[in-house]
Structure formats: C-alpha cells, structure tokens
Structure 1
Amino acid sequence: MKQLKLTGFVIFFFFLTESLTLPTKPQDVDDVSVTKKFIEENVGYITIIAFAQYIQEASFEEVEMLAKAMTEYRDKCLADRTLPECSKLANDVLLENICAMEGLPQKHNFLHCCRKIDVERKLCFLHNKKADVGFLPPLPTLDPEEKCQTFKNNRESFLNNYIYEISRRNPFVFAPTLLTVAARFEEMTKTCCEEQEKAYCFRTKAEHFIQYLKALSSYQKNVCGALMKFGPQILQSINTAVLSQKFPKIEFKELTSLLKDVSSKYDGCCEGDVVECIHGRSKIMSHICSKQDSISSKIKGCCEKKIPERGECIIYSNKDDRPNDLSLRETKFTESNNVCEERNADRGNFKTEFLYEYARRHTELSIPELLRIAETYEDLLGECCNTENPPDCYRDAENRFNETTEKSLKIVQQECEHFQNLGKDDLKYYYLIKLTKIAPQLSTEELTFLGKEMVIALTTCCTLSEEFACVDNLMDLVLGQLCGINENRNINPAVDHCCKTNFAFRRSCFEGLKADKAYVPLPTSQGLFTFHTDLCQAHNEELQRKKDRFLVNLVKWKPELREDKLQSLLTDFTKVVATCCKAEGPAACFSEEGPKLAAKSQAA
C-alpha cells in the first residue's frame, strides 16, 4: 500500500477518530488539497471498502470490477474536471456505478434501493447492511508460507482481497479504521514473511490490530446507533462529555466550535459515505492541532511531530490536568436564581454547557454516567421551573446526581462481584444464559460474541482503581452492539424498549429485563445432541466455542430451565465429549451418549 499509510487518534478511551498519516509538514495539516490528493490516489481501496460494506454478498471479482470502473472515472475527471459527471458527489457516483452493474441489483437483492434517488437511496443502502455476518463463509485462512508467496507474487491483489474480506464482515466500521487495519496488516505481512517462525509472528502481531479494530468497531457502532435512533442531540451530548473530560481547560466557546466539526463528520461516517468520512476526520485533526494551546497542554509535543507519528502520540497522551481554579462544583447551575430563565432562553446550549462543566470536573465518571446526570438535571429543572420557588427546588440537584451515580455504581459492583465469585468460564456461561433468555431471537453466533465481550469488559476492568468508569463504559458498548445501528433491527418488544427509549439509562433498563415470555422455543432440539468426532480434534479454544454454542442453543430450545439446570447439562455435555474422545470408537460412543443427554434434557 504505497500511499496507504494511516494511523489513529483517540480522545479519551472511547472517542475515536483517525487521521490520514500523509507525508507532509506540520504546517500543511489544514491543507484540504492533501486530503483530496490522498483520496484520489487511493480511490481503488476506498471503492472496495464502500462496495463490500454496502453489498456484503458481492464477490471479490465484482468488487474489483467496480474498483476498476471508479479508477477510470477518477482518471477521466483528473484529465477534465469540467465534465458534467465530475461535479457529482463521490458517494453518488459510487452508488450509480453499483446500480449500473448488469444483473447485480437483481442478483444481490438491492434493486429497490437503485429505484430511489439522493438521500433516500443512500439510506436504503445503509439499511441494507447486515451486522450479523453469519451468512458469509468463514474468513479464508492461508498457510503462512502460502500467504507470503501470494503477497510476493501479487501484492496489490492480495491487499485488495484482505480489504474486501475485512470490510464486508465489518459493514459499519468507518473507512479510515479499515484502512488503518489494512496498512498494519501489510506491515505485519512484510515483517513476518522475513521471519523463520512465520506462524508465530502472524499470530502474535495480528492480535494487536484485531483488538484495535474491535475497539473502534464497538465504539463506532454504539455512537452511530445512538445517532440513528435518537438523532444528533445525543451525539452532541456524547461528544461534549468525552471532549470535556479529556480537555478540562478548554473554553466553552472553543468546545462548541470543535463540536461542530466532530458532530458533523459522523453524518458521513455513519451513513457509509467513505469519502465524506475521510474529509471529516482530516478536518478535526486540523482543528485540534491548530488550537492546541487553548485545548490541552498534553498534545503540544504531539502536534509538533509529523503526521505519521502525531496521531499515535495523541492516542496515548494523558487527560489534561484539571485547572487549579476549577472548583468541584459549578454553583451557576444549582444556586443561581436565574437558572430557569437561562434554560428557557436556549435549552440545547444550556444542556451542553452543564454537561461540559460537570464532565471536566468529574473525570472519574463514565461517559454514560455523565449523560445520566445531565438527563437527571434536565428532568429536575422540568419539575422545578414549574414551581413557585424554583431555586429552593433545584438546590437539591447534587443529591439527585449522587443518587443516580449510586444506582449505577451498585450495578457495577454486582457485576464485579460476579466476576470475583464465578471465575472467567462460569461468568461467561452466566451471561450467555442471561442474554439468550432476554434476546433469544439473536443468532447463536451473535449471542456467544456478546457474552464473550461482557466477560472481557469485567476481566479488563474489575481489578482497576477506576473500576466504575471502565466497567460502565465497556458494558455500555456491548449493549450498543446488541441494540445495533439500523432502525429496522427489531429483537423483541422488551429489548427494543431498552434500546430505543432512553440512551442514557439503557444499562439500568437491561438490568431489569427478564426472560422473553412471548418467545416460542424451537419445537425440537434440531440436531443439538448429534455429536461428531470433530469434537475430539477441536483444540481448547475451538472446543470452548462449541461448548458456548451448545449452551446458547440449549437455552433457545429450553428457555424455561433454571440457570443451575442449564449449567448441569453443560457439564454433562463436557463429560460426554471427554469420555467419548477417549473411547476406542468415538463415533459409536457419541451415537449412544447423545440420545441419553437429549432424553435427560427433555425431562429436565
């Protein structure tokens, strides 16, 4: 990837926006032509990402065909920019080309989108994306030697194929993130193909950028889901909380200016407009580094670096120090006599300012908790501003905030107690059972993934001093993945209510959910107890995945069973596998033991 050298930059733990790491000088960072040039030079890669995300079923050959068409379009417009077709938006041209590919709309069932125009067509393609990619074949794996030979023989096709495979499996991940992962994949391939122990090298190095992709994917889906379901105001609140915590000395006026850039870029990124997304990311980086003195004392050294090093530097920069003159309380919002008048004059700006002031004073709180407090304050003023003496009413605000935080803290403490008492495996089974009972409509793959993510969150956070913020942030991201991005994702009424009614309080909403009583379980076990000898060849990790799938499918078949009974049947399954894999004839053993376990489960 000659021109494809990208890196990431992050604001706090969950505010993730990548920048183009182009070979340019610091003073050139706000030069729009740099970004434009990058897009022109990488139109093939960008086309592959957009097409593979929009039409996940499309073959690699079909994707390459469109990439070639878009490259020809670029060359034509570079030669003569006055041509009528060269004035169109890049995403419109891309969708037009997708729709113009003979037989493709009918083959992959998106003809209805091609009959729409402009925004309606773009949104149709967006809603056509599928977060659950279980319908795709397993990600192709090559022997390390074969991989290195393929890379050596045809580097461009090798990288194109990787971008295609990773993009269609991550349809909602922003294009710059995927380009970053692809660039790291290329660097890894170059390095590992020089090593003696190629397999070990690939295995260890891949873990880093896979985690990078997972972290950004989780955050982006969460934020875009919030934007799609609740509109731009919730996005404004999230960004306000994150920026104010990271940069506590930033002036409110400067924050609101930065928020305009940050919030607007999500429109393109969340809607899948890859070109607009790249433009938006570049603009934010320019803004931050051009105003660094008034934003943070921690990023000065980062912004003096050239762009390739600058992004990573900002990622790992610490939160700025809280200004010495910043008191722990801003009395303007709880003790002033004019609160209701100021609120009524401009409610949106008033809420943003409150969140800004509270977040920069409370860097120990999670982003979801800050949003809950802002909403608690808004509800309180809704009550107080209709009383005869509002100041007497809202002076109790701090107590309300503390009550809200205590409730959230109690949930986190209970979760960490589960972690301490159950251990990693039993904790996972606990969440697999819980999730499957409340959302049995989800696929087995998705449920096992979500259960694993919850365990990772608690394992990561429950031993840290900042346990509360860490757990609350990460668990909220898992719920964001459960709720999904598209408006047309419906699970069941109870889950939909938690996902769509109140973004800030969905954690507590999910805590109160019980098993879906309206769910009609599978009429039969559908091969659940038909075991094969491949169980004996499965390594530890693969065997664990099979156990997880068995448990989830067991709950889908028998949702009325108590947790202890389900755990007992899982233990029986493990014993059957251990016994039969030691037997002289594993297949015969499985044929005998499978029906016994099925009968026991049926009678439970």
Structure 2
Amino acid sequence: MQWLDVSCLLTLFILSAGAQSQNQVCTVFTEAKKDGFEAMALVGLAQNLPDSLLVDMVPLVQQAFSMGVLCCSDEPPKDCNRDVADLFQSAVCSSETLVETSNLTHCCEKTGSERTDCFVDHKAKIPRDLSFTSESPAADQCEDFKKDRKGFIERFIFRFSKRNPMLPPHVILAITKAYGEVLATCCGKEEAEAQTCFQTKKPTFQYAVRNRVNEIKALCITQNKYGDRIVKAKKLIQYSQKMPQASFPEMSSIVDKIVMTTAPCCSGDMVTCMKWRKILMDEVCGNRSVLSRVAGLKACCKEHAIDRGSCVEAMKPDAKPESLSVYYDLHTHIAQICLTFTKTPDAALAQLIYEISVRHPESSQQVILRFVKEAEQAFLRCCQREDQAGCVKTAMAGCDINKKITEEIEYYKKMCAAEATLKDDNFEKSMIVYYTRIMPQASFAQLHMVSQTLADVFHGCCNDEPNGFLLPCAEEKLTNILDAICNDYDYSSFNPRIAHCCNQSYSTRRPCFLALHPDADFTPPGLVSNTFPMGPELCTDDRKKLLLSGKRLLYGLVRHKTNITEDHLKTISANYHAMREMCCATEDHGACFTQEAPKLVSESAKLVNV
C-alpha cells in the first residue's frame, strides 16, 4: 500500500459514510482499490479484537476483500447494500476462535442494528492500554520501511487501532499518513542524517498524536459525564473565540451540529460519526454569508474534504469586528438577559458565553464557564426581583471576568517560569512529587503517565505564551488530564478528597485539585530496599531510563512520608545519584549495589523519620 492510498482511503471513509448507493460495498471497494479496502478492514477488525495477532486478521481481511469483489461482479448478492461496518462484523463473526476469545458470541448471535449496537458496546468496554511501550530504533524502522512498505503500514495500523479502539478511523488513518511522511522524509537520507532527521521530527509527531488522541478522549469523557449541555458550552466558547465575525445565531447553529456528532463519535458508532461530520462540514462550508466574514474558516473550507475538520479545530482566532466593544458590560444588558433567562435559561447563558468569548480569545474555556456559573446563580436569585440590576451587581461583586483572566494568566506564567528553570526532567519529577503527595494510593504507572503528560503540556503551552494563548492551551489540557484521572481510575480508592474533586462541576475540577494538601491519612509503606530502583541496570546513559529510575525514587520517598520536605528529597536524591556514580565506576556493579543499597536505605529512613 502506498501512502497515497491512505489519503484516498481517508476520502473514501467520508464519502462512504454518506453514501446512499444500492451497492455500498462495491462503491467503497471500487474507490479504495485492493490496498485501501484492506486497510479499512484492518482498522475495523483490530479495534474490535484487542487480543488478536496480525496473522489472525489475514483470513478475515481476505474474506472482506472477497465480498468486495463479489459485490462488484455482474450479479452482486442482495446484501451488498449493507454498510461497511456490517461487512466487518460479519468477517469477525465468521471466526469461531476469535469470537470466543474476544467474548463476542452474544453479539454475533444478533443481526442488523442490534449487532452493530452490541459491537459498539463491546468496543467501549475494551480497557485502554496503559503499559510502557518500547519502540524499535530508527535504523530498524527505516530498514523495515524500505524493505516492505505495505507490511510496515499494516503493522502500524494494526497496533495503533488495537491501542485506540474508540478512536475514529479517519483519525487513525490520518496519523498513519503523517507518520509515513516522517519515514519517507527521513529514511531516504544517509544513516547518520536519517537518525538526526528522526530525532528532530519524531518527537513533534508523537506530541501531535498524543495531543490529538487526548483531545478526542477528553471531549468524550465530558460528553459521557456531563452531557450535551457542557459540550455545547465548550464548543460555543471554542468557536466563538475562533470566529468572532460570526453572529450569535450563526454560531449557535454551527455548535448545535457539532454537538450532534459528539455522541455517535464517542460511542464507537463510526459510520454515523463520519456521516454527521460530513454533513456538518458541508453545511458550514456551504454558508457563503459566514465564509465571506470569517477568513480562517474560508481558508479551511478550501482544504481537501478530509482536512477541513482538523483545519477548523486548529484555526487561530480571526480578527475581531471593528464594531465590537472591548468589554461586555453585563449590567447594562441585565434587563434583556433576565427577560430571556426567565423563559429559556440556557439561551440566555449561551448568549452571555458568546459575548464574552468573542471578546476574550486569550481566556480558557474553564475561566469563562466559572464566570458564567456565578452569573447563573445571580440570575436565579435576582431576575424575579424588581431591582434586577442592583441585585445582580451586589451578587456578582468581586466577580470580574477580566480580573479572573489576568489572575489565571499570571499563575500559568509562573508555572512556565518554573518549567524553564527546572528544565524538562526536573519539572517532570516535581509533578510526580506533587501528585504523589495528594494521591499516594495511585500506582507508579498511573502517576508516571500523569507527570509525563503534565510536562508535555507545559512544554508545549509555554512555548505558545508569546502568542497570547497560554491560558486556553494550558488550562484546557490540564483539565483534560484531571478528567482522565477521574475517568480511567477508580478515584474512590484513592482518598475522599480526590473523590470530592472528581465529582465537582466540569469547570471547577482543576481549582479543586490545585487546592489539595498532602494526604496525611495515608498509611505509608516501609522504606525498604525495593523502594528504590538500585542495581546494575542504573549503569546506563539512556536518559529515559535514568529519568524513570529517578521518578521511582521520588515516588517511593513521598509515599513513605507525604509531607516529606523538599530539602530531604534533594539530600536523598543526591546520595542516591552519588551511589550510582560510585557503583557504576567499579568493575563489579552488582556487588557494589548489594553492599551500598542497604546503607542508603538506612540513612534515608533515619533522615526522613527524624
């Protein structure tokens, strides 16, 4: 399969989602051709079969391919009008072994929409893979890529689809295409240059992938926990900030359609998801009135159909209308707001969200939502009274949106200064210390991932600070991380304070976590030899391995005493690294660690427990 075929396949996914052909399978098969159709089958199959091997997929993909050939014959069977999802489900159900090992027997006993719903529900229950993964060296990947591009693509799609069963297929294939471009660029160079190219481009690619996957996951968590109301509010802020030239009715119409795509896309119903995405972009890009005023949207609508959605999502805010006032005076408009609020509260709040968002692209969604939440309480208290304006003014005394935005920006600037001072590794270590203090019940694997993601967030968002988008970048991503903690883990098993924050409203979770103190009620494990990673494996120059061992050390120390001082952490860390340097300089690394490790543990225990 060539990388061009993946591009064609992306287009095909979008076209087939809205196809009303009498022979949908043949339509898809003809456009995709052999390699494209097989890639489509591979995504659909791998996402439903997490315990399968690539070799298990071969006969199933071949079966789907044979059906494509048959549907394009002179006398196609009547069932060729079914959608592609049904075709892939039939392929899965034809393998008794895979059906049994994947616990899909009950789904395969159903037919039609009931079977589709069952498969969707099955995918939603597949656990996310949180394990640490090691990747092949760049030279090995380039060698594999050059030898067998088709096989390399298949393996990439298969692994990525299995690890991300709820990710929309068009996103998986777009990521595949992007990674192929990295390989095509770097692997054509001499070995030394290829390695440098890989080291430069791959981290950027990986960050972009993590960012995209986390964004989609976070939106789905929000939709599942808080429903369409919060999703609509978030999207209204996001796109009002991007397109301040669009009117409130125009923006409301766009956002309503975006919200319609969220539930099917998050549920795993990918055919319906892609159908609604196509309808959304067709309608938005077909609105000439909006396009004539929104330059960024106009540019995105000129992109290829498969790139339009991601272009709009990445779009920077357009210039504000010249007639737009700098600030929105809530109190001046209180009579009209209350008139609307008493009849349709959500409509009044949506108008308020829009008015603030178009004026403040530098704000985060969460700051605006916290302000509107306070305004809502004031409206509930005051809109039925005669002195509406005076009542609202009193109720919202000290609640100034401009002040809130400024305070939050200053907080994140301080975090960026800390990130710049500590550098990446030490900043990441400081994050695992903080989160181990407040949730010591969490496993190292969980907190390692949290601290790594936090470091990624600040590294990326702090670079965006000069452009004025530090706050929306940082708080959105931090909120996403906290939402993932509350969603992925059994937060009730941590401690009551974490559970309390996880049950807060969407916009107040981050401030709640930030206000937590070290868990003083945690019963700590003893400080023993296996608290520290100590052995010959520390004698390496691999930065990632050394960072991991350093984080394990800090995790063990903080769990032993959640209020351990920073000075004690620094002292023990320095002693630990001194022991490592000494033992790694000896001939018998193992003997040295065996002798020195108990001393370090004993000295550390005395220091911590003073």
- Judge same fold: TM > 0.5, yes or no: yes
Say which of 278, 283, 289 aligns to 1:282: 278
Shift of the 254–400 alpha-carbon distance from structure 1 to 2, 3 Å rule, reads same
| Aligned position for 2:602 | 599
What SS does structure 2 have at the residue aligned with 1:195?
coil
Distance in 2 (CA, whole Å) between partners of 1:57 and 1:258 is: 40
Shift of the 30–540 alpha-carbon distance from structure 1 to 2, 3 Å rule, reads closer
Q: Which amino acid aligns with 2:118?
A: R
Distance in 1 (CA, whole Å) between partners of 2:493 and 2:337 is: 40
The answer to whether the 8 Å contact 1:175/1:277 transfers is no
1:302 Cα shift?
4.4
1:226 Cα shift?
0.5
Q: Which amino acid aligns with 2:369?
A: L
| Aligned position for 2:377 | 379
Say which of 186, 200, 207 aligns to 1:192: 186
The answer to whether the 8 Å contact 1:419/1:458 transfers is yes
1:264 Cα shift?
1.6
| Aligned position for 2:95 | 101
Say which of 20, 28, 45 aligns to 2:39: 45
Distance in 2 (CA, whole Å) between partners of 1:83 and 1:398 is: 71
Distance in 1 (CA, whole Å) between partners of 2:597 and 2:48 is: 42
Distance in 1 (CA, whole Å) between partners of 2:7 and 2:334 is: 48
Distance in 2 (CA, whole Å) between partners of 1:55 and 1:443 is: 27
1:99 Cα shift?
5.4
Shift of the 170–561 alpha-carbon distance from structure 1 to 2, 3 Å rule, reads farther
The answer to whether the 8 Å contact 1:580/1:590 transfers is yes
State whether structure 2 residue 179 is matched by structure 1 residue 176: no
What SS does structure 1 have at the residue aligned with 2:333?
coil
Shift of the 495–586 alpha-carbon distance from structure 1 to 2, 3 Å rule, reads same
1:242 Cα shift?
0.5
Shift of the 529–471 alpha-carbon distance from structure 1 to 2, 3 Å rule, reads closer
Q: Which amino acid aligns with 1:133?
A: L
What SS does structure 1 have at the residue aligned with 2:564?
coil
The answer to whether the 8 Å contact 2:320/2:358 transfers is yes
State whether structure 2 residue 241 is matched by structure 1 residue 238: no
Q: Deviations 1:441-497 (Å, cap 9, x if unpaired)?
A: 444233123213323333444472424333323322332333346999975543233
RMSD: 3.9
The answer to whether the 8 Å contact 1:524/1:557 transfers is yes
Stretches of structure 2 lacking an aligned partner (at least 5 in a row): none
Distance in 2 (CA, whole Å) between partners of 1:325 and 1:593 is: 72
State whether structure 2 residue 136 is matched by structure 1 residue 141: yes
The answer to whether the 8 Å contact 1:569/1:601 transfers is yes
Q: Which moved more, 1:294-303 or 1:483-492?
A: 483-492
State whether structure 2 residue 568 is matched by structure 1 residue 565: yes
State whether structure 2 residue 128 is matched by structure 1 residue 131: yes
| Aligned position for 1:440 | 440
How does 1:319-358 map onto structure 2 within 5 Å? 319-330=317-328, 335-358=333-356
What SS does structure 2 have at the residue aligned with 1:328?
coil
1:400 Cα shift?
1.9
1:91 Cα shift?
4.2
Distance in 2 (CA, whole Å) between partners of 1:80 and 1:407 is: 70
1:565 Cα shift?
2.6
1:330 Cα shift?
4.3
The answer to whether the 8 Å contact 1:444/1:549 transfers is yes
| Aligned position for 2:591 | 588
Distance in 2 (CA, whole Å) between partners of 1:70 and 1:255 is: 42
How does 1:25-174 map onto structure 2 within 5 Å? 41=32, 42-77=36-71, 90-91=84-85, 94-95=88-89, 97-98=91-92, 101-108=95-102, 121-122=118-119, 124-134=121-131, 138-141=133-136, 144=139, 146-174=140-168
Distance in 2 (CA, whole Å) between partners of 1:81 and 1:282 is: 31
* Larger relative helix fraction: 2
What SS does structure 1 have at the residue aligned with 2:539?
helix
Q: Which moved more, 1:31-40 or 1:391-400?
A: 31-40
Q: Deviations 1:160-188 (Å, cap 9, x if unpaired)?
A: 11112223334444332221111122233
Q: Which amino acid aligns with 1:159?
A: I
The answer to whether the 8 Å contact 1:334/1:395 transfers is no
Q: Which amino acid aligns with 2:183?
A: T
| Aligned position for 1:16 | none
Stretches of structure 1 lacking an aligned partner (at least 5 in a row): 8-18
1:377 Cα shift?
1.7
Distance in 1 (CA, whole Å) between partners of 2:519 and 2:65 is: 51
What SS does structure 2 have at the residue aligned with 1:571?
helix
The answer to whether the 8 Å contact 1:49/1:167 transfers is yes
Say which of 467, 471, 479 aligns to 2:482: 479
| Aligned position for 2:254 | 258
Shift of the 129–487 alpha-carbon distance from structure 1 to 2, 3 Å rule, reads farther
The answer to whether the 8 Å contact 1:177/1:213 transfers is no
Distance in 2 (CA, whole Å) between partners of 1:442 and 1:130 is: 18
Q: Which amino acid aligns with 1:475?
A: L
| Aligned position for 2:547 | 544
Shift of the 329–529 alpha-carbon distance from structure 1 to 2, 3 Å rule, reads closer
What SS does structure 2 have at the residue aligned with 1:537?
coil
Shift of the 38–510 alpha-carbon distance from structure 1 to 2, 3 Å rule, reads farther
Shift of the 273–294 alpha-carbon distance from structure 1 to 2, 3 Å rule, reads same
| Aligned position for 1:10 | none
Say which of 203, 217, 222 aligns to 1:221: 217
| Aligned position for 1:451 | 451
Shift of the 538–424 alpha-carbon distance from structure 1 to 2, 3 Å rule, reads closer
Distance in 1 (CA, whole Å) between partners of 2:7 and 2:397 is: 44
The answer to whether the 8 Å contact 1:66/1:98 transfers is yes
Shift of the 332–408 alpha-carbon distance from structure 1 to 2, 3 Å rule, reads closer
The answer to whether the 8 Å contact 1:252/1:356 transfers is yes
Q: Which amino acid aligns with 1:594?
A: A
1:582 Cα shift?
1.2
What SS does structure 2 have at the residue aligned with 1:527?
helix
1:372 Cα shift?
1.7
The answer to whether the 8 Å contact 1:55/1:129 transfers is no
Normalising by the residue count of structure 2, what TM-score does the alignment of the two structures yield? 0.83
Normalising by the residue count of structure 1, what TM-score does the alignment of the two structures yield? 0.84
Shift of the 407–560 alpha-carbon distance from structure 1 to 2, 3 Å rule, reads same
Shift of the 56–398 alpha-carbon distance from structure 1 to 2, 3 Å rule, reads farther
How does 1:385-400 map onto structure 2 within 5 Å? 385-395=383-393, 397=396, 399-400=398-399
**Number of residue equivalences:** 587
Say which of 530, 552, 565 aligns to 1:527: 530
Distance in 1 (CA, whole Å) between partners of 2:42 and 2:333 is: 56
Distance in 2 (CA, whole Å) between partners of 1:306 and 1:459 is: 31
The answer to whether the 8 Å contact 2:340/2:347 transfers is no
What SS does structure 1 have at the residue aligned with 2:507?
coil
Distance in 2 (CA, whole Å) between partners of 1:240 and 1:363 is: 12
Distance in 2 (CA, whole Å) between partners of 1:80 and 1:561 is: 77
Q: Deviations 1:200-228 (Å, cap 9, x if unpaired)?
A: 33333323321220111121121111111
Distance in 2 (CA, whole Å) between partners of 1:186 and 1:314 is: 23
| Aligned position for 1:303 | 301
